[in-house]
Amino acid sequence: MALPFPLSDLLVILPELVLTELALGILLWATVVKRERERFLAWASLASLAVTAALIPVAVHYAGSLPREAFGGMFTLDGFGIFFKVLTLVAAAVTILFSLRFVGTSPYPGGEYYALLLFSTVGMLGLVSSLELVSLFVALEIMSIALYGMAGLHRGRPQSQESALKYFVTGAFASAFFLYGIALLYGATGSTSLEKIARSVSVLSPESLPLAVLGVALLLVGFGFKVASVPFHMWAPDVYEGAPTTVTGFMSAGVKAAAFGALLRVFDSALPALASHWQPLVGVLAIVSMVVGNLAALAQTSLKRMLAYSSIAHAGYLLTAFVAAPLVAGEAMLFYLVAYAAVNLGAFGALAALSRDGREPLAVRDLSGLADRRPALAAALTVFLVSLTGIPITAGFVGKFYLFGAAVSVGSMGIALALVGVVMSVVSAYYYLRVVVAMYMSEPEGEDAWGPISPASAFALAVSAALTLLLGVWPAPLLALARVAARSLIQ
**Separation between Cα atoms, residue 197 and residue 133, nearest integer Å:** 10
On whether the CB atoms of residues 73 and 61 are closer than 8 A, the answer is: no
Domain layout of the chain by residue ranges:
9-490
**Separation between Cα atoms, residue 47 and residue 41, nearest integer Å:** 10
Distance from CA of residue 148 to its chain's centroid?
15
pLDDT of 446 higher than 60: yes
| Region 256-271 average pLDDT | 92
Q: Based on C-alpha coordinates, what's the Rg of the chain? A: 22
Which is more confidently placed, 30 or 177?
A: 177
Which is more confidently placed, 105 or 430?
A: 430
Long-range CB pairs of 49-55, under 8 A, 24+ apart, other chains included: 49/19, 49/89, 49/92, 49/93, 49/96, 49/118, 49/121, 50/93, 51/18, 51/19, 51/22, 52/15, 52/18, 52/19, 52/22, 52/89, 52/125, 53/15, 53/86, 53/89, 55/14, 55/15, 55/18
Going by pLDDT thresholds of 50, 70 and 90, the confidence category of residue 36 is: low
On whether the CB atoms of residues 95 and 454 are closer than 8 A, the answer is: no
On whether the CB atoms of residues 200 and 188 are closer than 8 A, the answer is: yes
Query: How far apart, in Å, are the Cα atoms of 211 and each of 137, 186, 200, 269, 277?
Result: 20, 10, 13, 19, 12
Question: 62-76, 329-343, 403-417, 443-457: which has the minimum mean pLDDT?
Answer: 443-457
> Of 162, 353, 368, 146, which Cα lies nearest the Cα of 255?
146
Distance from CA of residue 464 to its chain's centroid?
16
Partner residues linked to 132 by β-bridges: 193
| Region 360-385 average pLDDT | 88
pLDDT at position 107 is 66
Which is more confidently placed, 113 or 471?
A: 471
What one-character-per-residue DSSP string does 246-280 give? HHHHHIIIIIHHHHHHHHHHIIIII-GGGHHHHHH
447: left (phi over 0), alpha (psi -120 to 50) or beta: beta
pLDDT at position 353 is 87
Strand ranges in 55-103 using DSSP code E only, listed in sequence order: 68-70, 75-77
**Separation between Cα atoms, residue 376 and residue 350, nearest integer Å:** 11
pLDDT of 292 higher than 90: yes
Which is more confidently placed, 110 or 353?
A: 353
Coarse DSSP helix, strand, coil percentages of the chain, rounded to the nearest 5 percent: 75, 5, 20
pLDDT at position 45 is 93
pLDDT of 398 higher than 90: yes
> Of 197, 263, 206, 202, which Cα lies nearest the Cα of 229?
263
Residues recorded for the chain: 491
On whether the CB atoms of residues 302 and 362 are closer than 8 A, the answer is: yes
Which is more confidently placed, 356 or 17?
A: 17
**Separation between Cα atoms, residue 86 and residue 66, nearest integer Å:** 17
pLDDT at position 490 is 77
pLDDT at position 423 is 95
pLDDT at position 1 is 47
> Of 164, 57, 37, 58, which Cα lies nearest the Cα of 103?
37
On whether the CB atoms of residues 452 and 297 are closer than 8 A, the answer is: no
| Region 158-183 average pLDDT | 89
On whether the CB atoms of residues 262 and 223 are closer than 8 A, the answer is: yes
On whether the CB atoms of residues 83 and 481 are closer than 8 A, the answer is: yes
Distance from CA of residue 126 to its chain's centroid?
14
Helix orientation angle between 395-408 and 326-353, rounded to the nearest 10 degrees: 150
Residue 106 dihedral angles phi and psi, to the nearest 5°:
-120, 165
pLDDT in tens, 194-251: 999 999 988 888 888 899 999 999 999 999 999 999 888 888 999 998 888 899 999 9
pLDDT of 156 higher than 80: no
Query: How far apart, in Å, are the Cα atoms of 230 and each of 172, 249, 293, 457?
Result: 17, 20, 8, 33
pLDDT in tens, 305-320: 999 999 999 999 999 9
Distance from CA of residue 117 to its chain's centroid?
13
pTM above 0.85, yes or no: yes
Burial class (CB within 10 angstroms; exposed 0-12, middle 13-18, buried 19+) of 86: middle
Identify residue 253 by its one-letter amino acid code: A
pLDDT at position 72 is 82
- The whole-chain average pLDDT of the chain stands at 89
pLDDT of 108 higher than 80: no
Distance from CA of residue 69 to its chain's centroid?
25
On whether the CB atoms of residues 344 and 253 are closer than 8 A, the answer is: yes
Which range, 36-50, 60-74, 418-432, is most confident?
418-432
Partner residues linked to 130 by β-bridges: 75
Question: 127-141, 181-195, 275-289, 362-376: which has the minimum mean pLDDT?
Answer: 362-376
Identify residue 149 by its one-letter amino acid code: G
Share of the chain above pLDDT 70, in %: 95
Partner residues linked to 193 by β-bridges: 132
pLDDT of 37 higher than 80: no
> Of 150, 162, 140, which Cα lies nearest the Cα of 99?
150
pLDDT at position 491 is 67
